[in-house]
Chain A
Amino acid sequence: MAPILSIDRVTKYFAGLTALNEVSFDLQPGGITGLIGPNGAGKTTLLSILAGSIQPTSGTVVFQDRNLTGAKSFARAQAGIVRTHQVPRPFRALSVLENVEVGVRFGRRQGSAGHPRDARRILEWVGITHLADAPSVTLSVGDQKRLELARALATRPSLLLCDEVCSGLTEPETASVLRLLRKIQEAGTTILYVEHNLKAIMSVSHHVIVMNYGQKLAEGSPEAVQSDPAVIAAYIGRTACA
Chain B
Amino acid sequence: MKGAGKSGASARPRFAFAVAPLLLLGVLAALPAFGLGPNTVRLLFVTLVWVTVSIAWNILGGFGGQVSFGFAVFYGLGAYAAALSVNSGVNSMLSLLLAASVAVLASMLVGLPTFRLRGPYFAIATIGVSEAVRVVMTNVSMTGGASGYRILETRPFHQLEHFYAALALAVVAVAVSMQVRRSKFGLALIAIREDEEAASDLGVNPFRTKLLAHALAAALTGAAGGVYAQYAAFIHPQGVFAFGIGVAILLMPIIGGIGTIWGPVIGGVVYGLIHEELIASFPQLHLLIYGSLLILIVLFEPAGIVGLLDRSFRVFARGWRVSGSHP
Tell me, yes or no, whether A and B come into direct contact in the complex with CB atoms closer than 8 A.
Answer: yes
B134 at the binding interface (Cβ < 8 Å): no
Extra contacts, 12 of them, besides A102-B191, A135-B7 (Cβ < 8 A), are A52-B200, A74-B200, A92-B194, A94-B194, A101-B187, A102-B187, A102-B202, A103-B202, A105-B184, A106-B188, A106-B204, A108-B203
How many residues on chain A are close to B (CB under 8 Å)?
29
Is A53 a contact partner of B187 (Cβ separation < 8 A)?
no
- CA separation between A122 and B189, bound complex, in Å? 23
Whether the Cβ atoms of A73 and B201 lie closer than 8 Å is yes
Question: Would you mind naming 26 contact pairs between A and B with Cβ atoms under 8 Å apart?
Answer: A72-B205, A73-B197, A74-B201, A74-B203, A74-B205, A74-B206, A77-B202, A78-B203, A82-B201, A82-B203, A85-B198, A89-B198, A91-B191, A91-B195, A91-B199, A92-B194, A93-B193, A93-B194, A102-B187, A102-B188, A103-B202, A106-B184, A106-B188, A106-B199, A108-B203, A155-B202
Cα distance A52–B193 in the bound complex, in angstroms: 20
Task: Please give me the residue from chain B that is nearest to A84 by CB atom.
Answer: B201
Asked if A151 is at the interface of the complex by the 8 Å CB criterion, the answer is yes
Known: A92-B194, A93-B2. Is A77-B187 also a contact (CB below 8 A)? no
Q: Which residues of B contact A74 (CB under 8 A)?
A: 200-206
Choice from B3, B5, B184, B194 contacting A91 with Cβ under 8 Å: B194
Query: Does B190 touch A at the CB level, under 8 Å?
Result: yes
Q: How far is the CA of A93 from the CA of B184 in the complex (A)?
A: 16
> Which of the residues A73, A83, A93, A101 comes within 8 Å of B5, measured between beta carbons?
A93
A46 in contact (CB, < 8 A)? no
Within 8 A of A (CB), among B186-235: 187-188, 190-191, 193-195, 197-206
In the complex, which residues 150-199 of chain A have their Cβ closer than 8 Å to any Cβ of chain B?
Answer: 151-152, 154-155
Determine if B203 and A103 form an interchain contact, defined as CB atoms under 8 angstroms apart: yes
Contact residues of B with A, CB < 8 Å? 2-3, 5, 7, 184, 187-188, 190-191, 193-195, 197-206, 259
0/1 interface trace, chain A 98-139, chain B, CB 8 Å (1 if under): 100111011110000000000000000000000000010000
Q: Which of A53, A73, A98 has the most CB of B within 10 A?
A: A73
Please, which residues of chain B bring their CB within 8 A of the CB of A91? Answer: 190-191, 194-195, 198-199
User: Known contacts being A74-B205, A94-B190, A135-B5, is A102 close to B199, with CB within 8 Å?
Assistant: yes
Q: Which 6 A-B pairs have the closest CB atoms?
A: A106-B203, A77-B203, A91-B194, A89-B198, A73-B200, A74-B200
In the complex, residue of chain B having the shortest beta-carbon distance to the beta carbon of A156? B203
Alpha-carbon separation in the docked complex, A152 to B204 (Å): 13
Residues of A within 8 A of B259 (CB): 93
Whether, in the assembled complex, A5 has its beta carbon less than 8 Å from a beta carbon of chain B, the answer is no
